[in-house]
Amino acid sequence: MYHSEAILLSDGRILVSGSDPQDFVNPQEYRVEVYVPPYLLDGRLQPNILSLPNKDWTYGGNFQVTIQTFQTGPIKFSLLGAVASTHGQSMGIRTIFPEVKPSPTFLRVSC
């Protein structure tokens, strides 16, 4: 609906809310929903981020992210652009998957 929002929460869930139909046919919507992606429900433990660089991440930079992980396989790391949206969309939203080089206690991230 018009003026609806979908916001990514810090734990990976998605909060969906809002409407403003302004058409005198559809009712105003006041419910708030939370979508939980299947990968949060299948028993996998998510890694804990213990520390991040205390500076801006720049293109071409290398950064160390300290994590506590419970898996032994490959690790996928993503960065999401923090944006504000209206009308249910944001033209600036993006997700990038930089190269990562894992060690037992940290990731080396190359942007």
Here the CATH number for the domain that contains residue 102 is 2.60.40.10
60 and 103, same domain (yes or no): yes
Inform me whether the pLDDT recorded for 91 exceeds 70.
Answer: no
| Domains contained in the chain, number | 2
Looking at residue 34, its pLDDT comes to 93
60 and 91, same domain (yes or no): yes
pLDDT tens, position by position, 38-90: 988 988 777 788 888 877 888 888 888 888 877 777 777 888 776 666 555 66
Contacts of residue 37, Cβ cutoff 8 Å, sequence gap at least 6: 12, 13, 14
Question: Which residue range(s) make up the domain with 49?
Answer: 45-111
Looking at residue 6, its pLDDT comes to 78
50 and 33, same domain (yes or no): no
51 and 36, same domain (yes or no): no
10 and 31, same domain (yes or no): yes
51 and 79, same domain (yes or no): yes
